[in-house]
Chain A
Amino acid sequence: RAEWAWPVKKTLSKTGVKNIVLVDGVRTPFLQSGTTYADLMPHDLARTALQGLLNRTGIPKDAVDYIIYGTVIQEVKTSNVAREAALGAGFSDRIPAHTVTMACISSNQAMTTAVGMIAAGQCDAVVAGGVEFMSDVPIRHSRKMRKTMLSLNKAKTLGARLALLGSIRPAHLAPELPAVAEFSTEETMGHSADRLAAAFGVSRREQDEYALRSHSLAKRAQDEGLLSDVVGFKVPGKDIVSKDNGIRPSSMEQMAKLKPAFVKPHGTVTAANSSYLTDGASAVLIMSEEKALALGYKPKAYLRDFVYVSQDPKDQLLLGPSYATPKVLERSGLKLADIDVFEFHEAFAGQILSNLKAMDSDWFAKTYMGRTSKVGSPPLDKFNLWGGSLSLGHPFGATGCRLVTTVAHRLKKEGGQYGLVAACAAGGQGHAMVIEAYPQ
């Protein structure tokens, strides 16, 4: 029978569902915020990623049907940053563009929106990407000051204007800074991560070890030239940037010296075992398989099933991967052991280790996820082997595309067939996607 001839691992292709492929993906170097990109604007980074994608793929500037970008902290002048970036990148001005936001899984949302559009037959080729620029964030006047200033516009007489100006008090001048804190709970993410690590009994040492692993693996990947998604960036007035600059393998001793950053004095999350504020942008070209082949591309991977999940933003803020992983595997009919390449977003070492423990706990699966048993913990020898957000950096809106592109590259390099991306996000949300290697 023909069955004997089937490969060991079957393709995840489903009848009646379009095959959608990742043609290629690129990103700017991820830089610690306040460094070389400091004087740019978000759309500059996004534009650079788009240009890089154009150069890398050589796609005609009008062959793209739609552009979608993800971002978290919006520059108010360029709230639809996708459009501003696309115009400057040289794409045809006839290509519509929109921007999405879903915290740290914003570019995942951009990609899955693209997948949806292609699957629905509305588009054949979509560029998805993400950008985050933390070197400059919108700092606002206080609400009272804003109210006064808005009233000032409407004041007709000089007297009315003076009266309004006279109502300003020194306290009104205090600015409002955006915080990496949950609006609903007012808790900062680092604080939540520290509590999560404590809840799962993850020690400071484990976290430091994991962070050190991330930096060491990233360093090796950088040195070996594996981070081929990075495109160089000639920053106006500055040097060409061609490498991520936050990779800094330290020693356990050095890391142990740091004081806890959020929960004082007994917390375990420190600056060294957390991801840091990063500037960067990413972009991927997604097509229907037919279209890619028609244009003469050799796609890198199939984008298969994906899920979004959400949980309690207070106590389960960062557990998205634990909830999303079993769900997406179930959709694909796969088991954890079938996955060759894992790329999980590393918000905090404590968050990753907590998720690994949650996924390895039958009690957690039964008590909180309503499942009959645990999905299992991904083996570390398949896990984030080229570094992760802790070391490479984490521009909130851009990380998702980096994860997907990295899975595609690793599948090729390591000869695997299935990859899994998972990430947590503010709001207690999460995402996972299964990626299948394109046949060589």
Chain B
Amino acid sequence: SVAVKSLGSSEGLKSEKYMQTTFTWTHVNYEIKGDVAVIRISDPNSKVNTLSLQMQKEMTEVMDEVMGNSAIKSVVLISSKPGCFIAGADINMIQACKSTEEVTRLSQEGQKIFEKIEKSPKPIVAAINGSCLGGGLEFAIACQYRVATKSKKTALGTPEVMLGLLPGAGGTQRLPKMIGLPNAFDMMLTGRNIRADKAKKMGLVHQLVDTLGPGLKSPEERTIEYLEEVAIDCARGIVNKKLALTKEMNMMQKIQDHVMSYSFVQNRIYSTVEKKVLKQTKGLYPAPMKIIECVKAGMEQGPDAGYLAESQNFGKLAMTPESKALVGLYHGQVACKKNRFGVPEKEVKTLAILGAGLIGAGIAQVTVEKSINTILKDITEEALNQGQHQVYKGLNDKTKKKSITSFERDSILSNLTGQLDYSGFEKADMVIEAVFEDLAIKHKVLKEVEAVIPPNCVFASNTAALAIKDIAAASKRPEKVVGMHYFSPVDKMQLLEIITTDKTSKDTTASAVALGLKQGKVVIVVGDGPGFYTTRCLAPMLAEAVRVLQEGVDPKKLDSLTTGFGFPVGAATLADELGIDVAAHMAENLGKAFGSRFGGGNLELLKTMVAKGFKGRKSGKGFYIYQSEPKPKDINPELKEIVESYKMMPNPAVSSDSDVQYRLISRFVNEAVLCLQEGILTNPVEGDIGAVFGLGFPPFLGGPFRFVDNFGADKLVEKMKTFEEVFGNQFTPCQLLLDHAKDPSRKFHN
């Protein structure tokens, strides 16, 4: 635009033209339909609308023009993008800010714009189709009336908390008044999306509009038009006083509202919510408490104090390392939802899965849900039956929750074929084996499968620890062999770790990534080696956990130390969930591969547990005892005796709670950095995503690499050296970590 400007200033005629183009809005425009102005928003540079600076500027100009036009009596605000109203504020805009004050100013500007909307003498109807999140929701709730489509894509929510932020444009002030304290806290503290029907029940929207099917235009296009037509009617209805702005309340709601108006009831709510938040966040996440603070300020001291608290806390939160880490994860997640290996030559239309165990059936479920023909094969009818039941149950639970109809469930299930033989494998585009973690068995099925599949079929191995090249050694076409490491439970865990060997072709990788993305996974692609990336990071930490147990720390204490650091699941519970036998197997394999660096705890402790049948949750006993009720669980009383026989004396110099936490975390982090150093990881982003989404690395730390950046490599190295003196090479910092420690300007993330 600089070039245009200079041209414009040199020639009068062109200058005029230039003036015109600058006043042509690119993100916001409006059309006058009778006495109603329809304001349409669409960001030309993105699939979604965000409240960017440009969007805000144009919106203000358009609003001014509309408000100044006396022929216009009311306004409809609508997005012309299918599937998106406004997805939120522009994160980059907040990230670009250098100081708390700068972010606070942003918040205050947003507050001002929405205050004008709220106080508009001409009623404004927000017509919502698709995501209406964050700043988008704050915009919508500043309007006088809301109409939303029943589309599955319509979602209202305040996800700021997941980015370590709070709704900073009036959300903390308007939401409680609109839907009551309990609902408002639920939305703002969990960040969860509210679907249209629920939003209507909560009083978040006034009216719902059906989605339309084929007509004289595409369903998406016509649905937006229809929404606009209904919204225009509503706008006129408000002006003509035919449509009431206050919602009709039934007796229950009236009583509830009355009860809520007492300050002691409100205080009770605040304290309950605060307690719950502290319990869940362990005080590690600042945003939820700030949200409560803002709501409280508004309710107790009035709107001026409330809005001020909101903008100031928003500014403060944006500068916290927690928020930066969470925003980093958000960007990482977006990056890991793309296929950097391009479009595969052949789309997977038929997938065969070997092994109907937890993982195999889980993979089957997330695959049939995407309408991909799925063969689930096992060798016994019993195992197959269990696997098929798991898929059915997973889908039926969704039916019970009403996220799919029973008919949709049946229709999804029709994509699944359970069988004991290899029939139909000749049509498979990909085979994923999820059989027992034993190289001989994996070789056996690989050979059997290769005898029946077509030449272009990909063979993927789901393994947590075996090297893919060792599995591929038995293959006639190693370029078609790849690792796909799913995490259990597959339908809940977001991560998929894909492992490529030197021989894996790019198209094979592209195909595996494409399938993973289709299954809704966040995908990282790592190099081959024992334990790949995730298992390799986990193993040293678990080895350290075993040593800690041997030093006399009980499982509950160990769990509280790990969750206190921010892991969602404690180390002892994690081992029980994983299976003690699996953990022992993994530790043994990796110990062989990496030697004493993976030592620490005595492997025999785990082996003894396995020998006694304490295989973790699946066997009813592990570190804990599992009865029918999952909580509260007790420590396995027989554990004490086992631990006693492997007892180690703790060294008081490195055994404080904090030391134990850093012993656990530093081994994890060092191994992660070593994976990057060795090229197992391509980049730190995938390392962070893999650790957080696959292993539960504390999200507020943003992953091991972000942790090193924020904590300081030098400080970490210093701690490790202390530990190294006591324990030896398990704590020797890797070269890349040392490099970062030496040069503080070196960061994994910019």
- Answer whether A and B are interacting partners: yes
B209 CB within 8 Å of chain A: yes
Which residue on chain A has the smallest CB distance to residue B234? A266
Considering the complex, which residues of chain B in the window 271-316 have a beta carbon less than 8 Å from any beta carbon of chain A?
none
Which residue on chain B has the smallest CB distance to residue A312? B213
B424 CB within 8 Å of chain A: no
- With beta carbons under 8 angstroms apart, the residue of A184, A265, A358, A363 that contacts B407 is A184
A198 CB within 8 Å of chain B: yes
Contacts of B337 in A (CB 8 A): none
B392 CB within 8 Å of chain A: no
**Chain A nearest CB: distance from B218 CB in Å?**
8
Is A263 within 8 A of B210, CB to CB? yes
Which residue on chain B has the smallest CB distance to residue A317? B213
How long is the Cα–Cα vector from A343 to B214 in the complex, in angstroms? 24
Considering the complex, which residues of chain A in the window 161-195 have a beta carbon less than 8 Å from any beta carbon of chain B?
183-186, 191, 194-195
How long is the Cα–Cα vector from A315 to B223 in the complex, in angstroms? 12
Is B213 within 8 A of A185, CB to CB? no
Is B212 within 8 A of A198, CB to CB? yes
Contacts of B211 in A (CB 8 A): 195
Contacts of B407 in A (CB 8 A): 183-186
How long is the Cα–Cα vector from A263 to B233 in the complex, in angstroms? 15
**Number of A residues, CB within 8 Å of B:** 28
- With beta carbons under 8 angstroms apart, the residue of B216, B230, B405 that contacts A266 is B230
Contacts of A314 in B (CB 8 A): 213
Considering the complex, which residues of chain A in the window 352-392 have a beta carbon less than 8 Å from any beta carbon of chain B?
354, 357-358, 361, 363-364, 367-368
How long is the Cα–Cα vector from A265 to B209 in the complex, in angstroms? 10
**Chain A nearest CB: distance from B301 CB in Å?**
40
Considering the complex, which residues of chain B in the window 404-443 have a beta carbon less than 8 Å from any beta carbon of chain A?
405, 407
A316 CB within 8 Å of chain B: yes
Query: 1/0 per residue B199-236: CB within 8 Å of A?
Result: 00000000101111111111100100010001001000
Contacts of A285 in B (CB 8 A): none
Counting chain B CB atoms within 10 Å of each CB, the highest count among A183, A184, A186 belongs to A184
- With beta carbons under 8 angstroms apart, the residue of A185, A266, A364 that contacts B214 is A364
Is A196 within 8 A of B213, CB to CB? yes
- With beta carbons under 8 angstroms apart, the residue of B207, B213, B233, B405 that contacts A199 is B213
How long is the Cα–Cα vector from A180 to B213 in the complex, in angstroms? 20
**Chain B nearest CB: distance from A184 CB in Å?**
4
Contacts of A186 in B (CB 8 A): 405, 407
Query: 1/0 per residue A44-74: CB within 8 Å of B?
Result: 0000000000000000000000000000000
Is A357 within 8 A of B216, CB to CB? yes
Which residue on chain A has the smallest CB distance to residue B209? A266
**Chain B nearest CB: distance from A181 CB in Å?**
12
- With beta carbons under 8 angstroms apart, the residue of B207, B212, B216, B218 that contacts A195 is B212
Is A200 within 8 A of B215, CB to CB? yes
Is B226 within 8 A of A367, CB to CB? no
Is A201 within 8 A of B209, CB to CB? no
**Chain A nearest CB: distance from B207 CB in Å?**
8
**Contact flag A199-B214 (CB < 8 Å), given A266-B209, A315-B219:** yes
- With beta carbons under 8 angstroms apart, the residue of A184, A315, A361 that contacts B216 is A361
Which residue on chain B has the smallest CB distance to residue A183? B407
**Chain B nearest CB: distance from A249 CB in Å?**
29
Considering the complex, which residues of chain B in the window 443-500 have a beta carbon less than 8 Å from any beta carbon of chain A?
none
**Chain A nearest CB: distance from B597 CB in Å?**
59
How long is the Cα–Cα vector from A401 to B349 in the complex, in angstroms? 45
**Chain A nearest CB: distance from B176 CB in Å?**
28
Is B212 within 8 A of A199, CB to CB? yes
Which residue on chain B has the smallest CB distance to residue A184? B407
Query: 1/0 per residue A238-266: CB within 8 Å of B?
Result: 00000000000000000000000001011
**Chain B nearest CB: distance from A192 CB in Å?**
9
How long is the Cα–Cα vector from A208 to B218 in the complex, in angstroms? 26
**Chain B nearest CB: distance from A415 CB in Å?**
35
Is B233 within 8 A of A266, CB to CB? yes
How long is the Cα–Cα vector from A273 to B218 in the complex, in angstroms? 26
**Chain B nearest CB: distance from A129 CB in Å?**
32
Counting chain A CB atoms within 10 Å of each CB, the highest count among B209, B213, B218, B407 belongs to B213
Is A199 within 8 A of B209, CB to CB? no
Is A185 within 8 A of B216, CB to CB? no
**Contact flag A198-B210 (CB < 8 Å), given A183-B407, A185-B407, A266-B230:** yes
Contacts of B216 in A (CB 8 A): 199-201, 357-358, 361, 363-364
**Contact flag A199-B230 (CB < 8 Å), given A183-B407, A186-B405:** no
Is B222 within 8 A of A185, CB to CB? no
**Chain B nearest CB: distance from A290 CB in Å?**
45
Contacts of A363 in B (CB 8 A): 216-217
**Contact flag A315-B212 (CB < 8 Å), given A183-B407, A185-B405:** yes
Contacts of A198 in B (CB 8 A): 210, 212, 215, 222, 226
Is A368 within 8 A of B405, CB to CB? no
**Chain B nearest CB: distance from A41 CB in Å?**
32
Query: 1/0 per residue B579-608: CB within 8 Å of A?
Result: 000000000000000000000000000000
Which residue on chain A has the smallest CB distance to residue B210? A195
Which residue on chain B has the smallest CB distance to residue A313? B407
How long is the Cα–Cα vector from A316 to B219 in the complex, in angstroms? 11
Considering the complex, which residues of chain A in the window 194-213 have a beta carbon less than 8 Å from any beta carbon of chain B?
194-196, 198-201
Which residue on chain B has the smallest CB distance to residue A200? B215
Is B210 within 8 A of A315, CB to CB? no
Which residue on chain A has the smallest CB distance to residue B147? A266
**Chain B nearest CB: distance from A70 CB in Å?**
25
How long is the Cα–Cα vector from A362 to B219 in the complex, in angstroms? 16
Which residue on chain B has the smallest CB distance to residue A262? B210
How long is the Cα–Cα vector from A358 to B405 in the complex, in angstroms? 29
Is A195 within 8 A of B405, CB to CB? no
Which residue on chain A has the smallest CB distance to residue B211? A195
**Chain B nearest CB: distance from A371 CB in Å?**
14
Contacts of A263 in B (CB 8 A): 210
Contacts of A354 in B (CB 8 A): 215
**Chain A nearest CB: distance from B549 CB in Å?**
50
How long is the Cα–Cα vector from A183 to B219 in the complex, in angstroms? 23
Is A315 within 8 A of B405, CB to CB? no
Counting chain A CB atoms within 10 Å of each CB, the highest count among B210, B226, B407 belongs to B210
Which residue on chain B has the smallest CB distance to residue A202? B215
How long is the Cα–Cα vector from A251 to B210 in the complex, in angstroms? 29
Contacts of A199 in B (CB 8 A): 212-216, 219, 222, 226
**Contact flag A316-B213 (CB < 8 Å), given A183-B407, A185-B405:** yes
How long is the Cα–Cα vector from A364 to B216 in the complex, in angstroms? 6
Contacts of B222 in A (CB 8 A): 198-199, 201
How long is the Cα–Cα vector from A263 to B216 in the complex, in angstroms? 21
**Chain A nearest CB: distance from B213 CB in Å?**
2
Considering the complex, which residues of chain B in the window 169-220 have a beta carbon less than 8 Å from any beta carbon of chain A?
207, 209-219
**Chain A nearest CB: distance from B583 CB in Å?**
46
How long is the Cα–Cα vector from A186 to B406 in the complex, in angstroms? 10
Contacts of A368 in B (CB 8 A): 214
How long is the Cα–Cα vector from A185 to B222 in the complex, in angstroms? 21
Contacts of B217 in A (CB 8 A): 363
How long is the Cα–Cα vector from A194 to B230 in the complex, in angstroms? 14
Is A316 within 8 A of B212, CB to CB? no
How long is the Cα–Cα vector from A225 to B209 in the complex, in angstroms? 45
**Chain B nearest CB: distance from A355 CB in Å?**
12
Contacts of A200 in B (CB 8 A): 215-216
Considering the complex, which residues of chain B in the window 513-558 have a beta carbon less than 8 Å from any beta carbon of chain A?
none
How long is the Cα–Cα vector from A172 to B34 in the complex, in angstroms? 55
Contacts of A361 in B (CB 8 A): 216
**Chain A nearest CB: distance from B248 CB in Å?**
13
Contacts of B215 in A (CB 8 A): 196, 198-201, 354, 357-358, 364
Apart from A198-B210, A368-B214, what are 8 other A-B pairs with CB-CB below 8 Å?
A200-B215, A201-B222, A315-B219, A316-B213, A319-B214, A357-B215, A363-B216, A367-B218
A/B interface sample: 11 pairs, CB < 8 A: A184-B405, A198-B222, A199-B212, A201-B215, A266-B233, A357-B216, A358-B215, A358-B216, A363-B216, A364-B214, A367-B218
Q: Give the 3 A-B residue pairs with the shortest CB-CB distance, closest first.
A: A315-B213, A199-B215, A199-B212
Residue positions of A touching B, CB distance < 8 A = 183-186, 191, 194-196, 198-201, 263, 265-266, 312, 314-316, 319, 354, 357-358, 361, 363-364, 367-368
